[in-house]
Amino acid sequence: MLDAASFVSQFRRDPPGPIETVEKLYGLGHWLLEQERYADAALAFRTMLRSAPDDERSWLALAACHERVGQFRIALELYGAGAAVVPTSVRCQIARARLLRQLGRDSEADDALGRASEVASDLGDDELVRFVEAERKSLCH
């Protein structure tokens, strides 16, 4: 059984730094997401988002929570905001493209993938370029 008191004392003895904290929050939220505790997971990811808005995982993960409960428009907003705040986030663009495609907004999905492709190319990251291409093929099928 987890012992809250020992957590408290450990925290006071050796408080985690900002980077470590963000990783803990992400791990926590990810675990909650796997448990299908979407509202709790969103709570963790919101805290992460406020702490690290320039970490694309904050936006991706929070949007995923809303997508899981069927709040697709909120998810779209969050993916879009993530892509704006983190211009190098190919994943936010891809996630947005997937959702747009699923919602039948094919033209916008193509635009999002196009932007993902541009960003990946600008970054000069071959792996990301292949990633986007694979995504494009998957979504076309």
Partner 1 sequence: MSLSVQSGQASQLGASAESEQSPPASGAQLVVLLPTPSGDAQADAMSWMYLLTSKQQALDVSNGRDNINRVQEQRAEAYKQEIEAIKQAIEAASHHSFWDSVASVALTIGKVAAVVGSIAVAVGTGGAGVVGVIAVAGALLSSAGFVEGEAHVLEKLGVDEGTATWVGIGLSVGGAACTGGAALAADAGEISATACTIQKVATATTGAAAMAGGAAKIEAGQYQGDQEDALADAAKAQMDQARMQRLLFMILDQLKSSEASDDNTLRALRGALSTKGDTLVLTTSMRA
Record the tokens describing residue 116, joined without a space: 């993902």
State the minimum distance, in angstroms, from the CB of residue 57 to partner 1: 6
The Cα–Cα gap between 109 and 72 comes to 14
CB of 115 to partner 1, least distance (A): 12
Q: Which 79-108 positions form the footprint of partner 1 (CB under 8 A)? A: 80-82, 84-87, 90-91, 94-95, 98-99, 101-104
Phi/psi-derived region of residue 104, left when phi > 0, alpha when psi is between -120 and 50, beta in every other case: left
Q: How far is the CB of 46 from partner 1 (least distance, A)?
A: 4
- C-alpha distances in Å from residue 29, one per residue of 16, 17, 83: 17, 18, 20
CA triplet 86, 45, 118: central angle to 5 degrees? 20
CB 79 within 8 A of CB 92: yes
Q: What does the block give as tokens for 105?
A: 């907004």
- What residues from 35 to 74 belong to the interface with partner 1 (CB under 8 A)? 35-40, 42-47, 49-51, 53-74
Instruction: By CB under 8 A, name the one of 13, 110, 118, 141 that touches partner 1.
Output: 141
CB-nearer residue toward partner 1: 37 or 114 = 37
- Region 13-32 residues binding partner 1, contact defined as CB under 8 A: 16, 20-21, 23-28, 30-32
Distance in Å, CB of 117 to partner 1, minimum? 15
Q: Report 105-124 residues binding partner 1 (CB under 8 A).
A: none
